[in-house]
Chains A and B, each alone.
Chain A
Amino acid sequence: MLVAILALTALSVAFGLGLGYASVRFKVEGDPLVDQIDKVLPQTQCGQCGFPGCRPYATAIAGGEADINQCPPGGEDGIQKLAELLGVEAKPLNPDNGVAKAVPTVALIDENICIGCTKCIQACPVDAILGAAQQMHTVIVSECTGCELCLEPCPVDCISMQPVAQTPRTWVWPLPDAAPAPSPRAAEASSAA
């Protein structure tokens, strides 16, 4: 009896010390959850979620201040990924935050109308607009996230959103059209596998 008590006490003390040490030694700096959420977000930095960028939104989700369905650029896929990451139910996109785009777009500046006011440059969250005061501005297409934040500040409305053209290099093979309905058993088997 006494031996058992002593043994258990000794064990609990040993494990307690071990855990206490580990919590100090392996302390995680920052909030890894925010990083994980931020990685799932599309990084358009468009602010449609109501937060000034993707990271603030990620912080808000991690803090429980925002829902996972406020990111239109991420779309349903993004919501699905967030739901998986956070272990919550996926839900449809909140229409208050906007709608997902059917095709990705990038901004295009009509250089003939542009007066070189630099307002769009200041608005661009990823510095994808090139130009200087009274100089023609242009969009670096490969860096544009299509956030549309440059549209509003333009005093002469010379910026428009253009769909990104698909090229043979970006093309994705479609899934076969007539995909057979899986038999229930097969579906179970696949989920088990």
Chain B
Amino acid sequence: MSLMTRLFGFRGGLHLDYRKEMSTGTPIQIAPVPPQLILPLSQHAGNPAKPRVKVGDRVLRGQTIADADGFVSLPVHAGTSGIVSAIEPRPIPHASGLSAPCIVIDADGKDEALATPEWEPAEDINALDAQTIRDRVRRAGVSGLGGAGFPSFIKLAPGHPVETLIINGAECEPYISCDQLLMAERADEIIGGIQVILHTIRAGRCLIGIEDNKSWAIAALKAAAAADQRIEVVVVPTRYPQGGEKQLIQTLTGLEVPSRGLPLDLGLVVQNPGTARAVWRAIRHAEPLTSRVVTVTGSAVSHPQNFDARIGTPMRFLIDLAGGYTTPPDRLLMGGPMMGFALPTDTLPIVKSTNCILATAPGELRPDEDAMPCIRCGACQDACPINLLPQQMYWHARGKEYDKAQSLNLFDCIECGCCAQVCPSHIPLVQYYRHAKTEIWSEQQEKRKADAARERHEARLARIEREERAKEEARARKKALLAASQAAAKPAAATAPSPVEASASAVGNDDPVARAIAAAKAKKAAAPAADSTSDDPVARAIAAAKAKKAAATSGTAETDDPVARAIAAAKAKKAAANADAAATNTKRAKPSAADDERIAAAVAAAQARKAAKAAAAAQPQATTEADDPVARAIAAAQARKAAQSADASVPAAPQSSSATTGDADDPVARAIAAAQARKAAKAAAVASESPSAPTPATNNTADEDPVARAVAAAKAKKAAKAAAAVAPEPVPAAASETSAQTDDPVARAIAAAKARKAARAAGETPTE
């Protein structure tokens, strides 16, 4: 006997009544394909997969129907050929009994596989490099089949030298026999998988730990592994929870996995035999994980046995294959009696981590007696395989002192249930620990959310302050500029150039007459500019900016004379202030209305800029990072909207006939159109009539791609501009009429923007 096989054992644990022989009498049966497969998108630890098929698609066995989303995630494959009949939340086998998104496939009975697998089957595994193997294992959707469902490819990329691979064939929980039969009947495939894993993680040896009550499995694996010196089958004593990862490591190596550590910290990787087989089938046969061995057992089942069943098979289907119920089951569990959880119904599908369906007859398991008070006997502490203080943790969990429970290493609890099993008061201790753990996670999540909210709130306050300051500064600058221009104008009128000007100007304009004229003009210019600035800060800001620009350009391009430059600046300012409103101003009877219009126009322009910026920001996000919540929110909103607007035949607003029809592809324009349509019902005073200009909205709403949408939006905007250019004069007129009639500022702003655009496009020949 070599040093390797020296056993160490672990503290605590129990001897239980195993009842495995119930289901080991029959070999593994290949279960037929059920009429319907229900495939949850989240069968593994990590992010749920993202569907890549649509309802109504025909899929083939082995086809990827949902892609991994992020690093810790796995794809989902169709278990048989058929039609995708639904992608919707369905109840999943989870302790909560809640629903989660699932893809439902109606089997067509042909069970047709993909003509060519999605990757090449490998004859010689040693010819493959580790990265290829990991990639294929990932694409095959292999997750740990022992229960936790951790994506296996991550364990194949340890990033850390691994000395020993441990295959956990202990299967210590009562009733469950799927690993046992798999090891006995598919030993070759398991050994093949082990060789692939050893090759991938470059480990030198493999220990297969099997409890001594599984003699067939031991014999089969020993025979299969005889040729490979690296693999050793180690028989371990039967004691619950020998199959716990940490306990098996301790038994085999004498090493303890540190608190909050991983086996990898000890240079170990632990895999389930079912996982090893799945790896083998993924690499050697290019088969994704679409089936697994499930034990269907319990006294309430007629013929308890193991099935090699398609993932997604409803549990009831397997129970019927096993002869149905003998009596109505007292309890239906997924997993074993120690660590399993109760299921509300037998219509749930089996998932990648379903190792056992246990339907018990009344009286078979220890009944849920009313818990008695804790008598502090300490039996739980003796039974605990990881040296925790179950009793103390219980008190703290009950008292909701979760931080104290956590300080007693609550998170090292493996929830094996030994403490509850031995408790003379029948206190459901594990449930207290599970409650405390999930409560702590939930609190942490809330804390993260609160921190994020605080950060966003503070960022918002900072932004508002910044904007205020910027506005303040702009106002101050504007005032200074005004003062400067007036000061410049005065000395010019008095024909006395200031020393600064004199020194700065190289080629001064010496004609005093021209200067005087210019000064007079400047004065004239300054007056209305001041007027216009007094009422509206937005217009003022725009004017200031334009004036500055004008001053900069005029100074270099037009004249060298500083006086003339100042005058030009003033003129520019005046022009800027008036330019916006110029086209419409002349038509307006009341100057106040014109002012209103101009302000609205300025606001609209600013908003349009903002919108453009937002659109530009949203677009790259949508393309590069689909899991960005912002992009997701937009997509969701658009989808919602599309769904709703599809049936709502948009009653085209009268004024949308000419301009809006052109840009109907644009969701923005659509939204505006919708608003206008509502408004138009009230203000139906427009001449042009084409009531139901059919918009191509439905075509475009079907287009779900955000990028395409963004492109379409951009195009539509362009089109809108062009449309406005060719639009006859009545359009702006009508728009301005609408604006006069309705008192809604939004509609007015829209109308104003349109009017301006049209006026500009119509060139210098507005109908006076």
Question: Which residues from chain A sit less than 8 Å from chain B, CB to CB?
Answer: 38, 41-45, 53-55, 109, 111-112, 114-118, 125-128, 130-136, 138-143, 145, 166-168, 170-176, 178-183, 186, 189-190, 193
Cβ-defined partner of A135 (8 Å) among B395, B439, B648, B671? B671
Tell me whether A186 and B373 are in contact (CB under 8 A).
yes
Tell me whether A134 and B399 are in contact (CB under 8 A).
no
Tell me whether B428 and A176 are in contact (CB under 8 A).
yes
- List the one stretch of B21-29, B215-223, B233-241, B453-461 in contact with chain A: B453-461
A166 — nearest CB in chain B belongs to which residue? B98
Known: A135-B614, A171-B96. A125 touches B457 (CB 8 A): yes
Cβ-defined partner of A133 (8 Å) among B434, B439, B607? B607
Tell me whether B629 and A140 are in contact (CB under 8 A).
yes
Cβ-defined partner of B376 (8 Å) among A131, A166, A186? A186
Tell me whether A167 and B98 are in contact (CB under 8 A).
yes
Contact pattern, B 649-673, Cβ under 8 Å of A = 1, otherwise 0: 0000000000000000001100110
A111 — nearest CB in chain B belongs to which residue? B641
The complex places the Cα of A112 from the Cα of B650 at a distance, in Å, of 11
The complex places the Cα of A27 from the Cα of B16 at a distance, in Å, of 62
Cβ-defined partner of B746 (8 Å) among A54, A116, A125, A131? A116
Tell me whether A143 and B100 are in contact (CB under 8 A).
no
A44 CB, nearest partner CB in chain B, Å = 7
The complex places the Cα of A131 from the Cα of B92 at a distance, in Å, of 36
- List the one stretch of B156-164, B267-275, B444-452, B584-592 in contact with chain A: B444-452
Tell me whether A142 and B454 are in contact (CB under 8 A).
no
Tell me whether B633 and A140 are in contact (CB under 8 A).
yes
Tell me whether B675 and A43 are in contact (CB under 8 A).
no
Complex interface: chain B residues within 8 A of A139 (CB): 633
The complex places the Cα of A128 from the Cα of B459 at a distance, in Å, of 12
Q: Does B392 contact A (CB under 8 A)?
A: yes
Known: A112-B645, A135-B671. A130 touches B373 (CB 8 A): no
Between-chain CB contacts (< 8 Å), 19 pairs? A41-B450, A43-B450, A43-B451, A112-B648, A114-B671, A118-B607, A127-B456, A128-B456, A132-B610, A132-B615, A135-B668, A140-B629, A170-B445, A173-B439, A175-B397, A176-B427, A180-B370, A186-B376, A190-B399
Known: A127-B460, A130-B634. A189 touches B645 (CB 8 A): no
Contact pattern, B 599-643, Cβ under 8 Å of A = 1, otherwise 0: 000001001101100110000000000000110011011101100
The complex places the Cα of A21 from the Cα of B437 at a distance, in Å, of 46
The complex places the Cα of A141 from the Cα of B632 at a distance, in Å, of 10
Contacts of B340-398 to chain A: CB distance below 8 A: 370-374, 376, 392, 395-398
The complex places the Cα of A114 from the Cα of B434 at a distance, in Å, of 44
A190 — nearest CB in chain B belongs to which residue? B395
Tell me whether A176 and B92 are in contact (CB under 8 A).
no
The complex places the Cα of A136 from the Cα of B638 at a distance, in Å, of 9
Q: With contacts defined as CB atoms under 8 Å apart, how many contacts are there between chain A and chain B in the complex?
A: 169
Complex interface: chain A residues within 8 A of B137 (CB): none
Complex interface: chain A residues within 8 A of B100 (CB): 167-168
A109 — nearest CB in chain B belongs to which residue? B637
A135 — nearest CB in chain B belongs to which residue? B668
Cβ-defined partner of A53 (8 Å) among B371, B446, B457? B457
Given contacts A42-B450, A127-B456, A132-B611, 4 further A-B contacts (CB under 8 A): A111-B637, A112-B645, A131-B614, A172-B438
Known: A143-B629, A176-B432. A183 touches B373 (CB 8 A): yes
Complex interface: chain B residues within 8 A of A135 (CB): 611, 614, 667-668, 671
Known: A134-B750, A135-B614, A140-B630. A173 touches B438 (CB 8 A): yes
B92 — nearest CB in chain A belongs to which residue? A168
The complex places the Cα of A125 from the Cα of B450 at a distance, in Å, of 13
Known: A125-B457, A135-B614. A172 touches B439 (CB 8 A): yes
Tell me whether B671 and A136 are in contact (CB under 8 A).
yes
Complex interface: chain A residues within 8 A of B750 (CB): 134
Complex interface: chain B residues within 8 A of A115 (CB): 671, 675, 746
A117 CB, nearest partner CB in chain B, Å = 6
Contacts of B181-212 to chain A: CB distance below 8 A: none
Complex interface: chain A residues within 8 A of B608 (CB): 133
Complex interface: chain B residues within 8 A of A181 (CB): 373
The complex places the Cα of A45 from the Cα of B332 at a distance, in Å, of 46
A77 CB, nearest partner CB in chain B, Å = 9
B674 CB, nearest partner CB in chain A, Å = 7
Q: Does B505 contact A (CB under 8 A)?
A: no
Cβ-defined partner of B96 (8 Å) among A109, A168, A186? A168
B629 — nearest CB in chain A belongs to which residue? A142
Q: Does B431 contact A (CB under 8 A)?
A: yes
B450 CB, nearest partner CB in chain A, Å = 4
B143 CB, nearest partner CB in chain A, Å = 16
The complex places the Cα of A176 from the Cα of B453 at a distance, in Å, of 33
The complex places the Cα of A43 from the Cα of B435 at a distance, in Å, of 25
Complex interface: chain B residues within 8 A of A128 (CB): 456
Q: Does B742 contact A (CB under 8 A)?
A: no
Q: Does B718 contact A (CB under 8 A)?
A: no
Tell me whether B457 and A45 are in contact (CB under 8 A).
yes
Complex interface: chain B residues within 8 A of A111 (CB): 637, 640-641, 644, 671
The complex places the Cα of A54 from the Cα of B614 at a distance, in Å, of 29
Complex interface: chain A residues within 8 A of B641 (CB): 111-112, 136
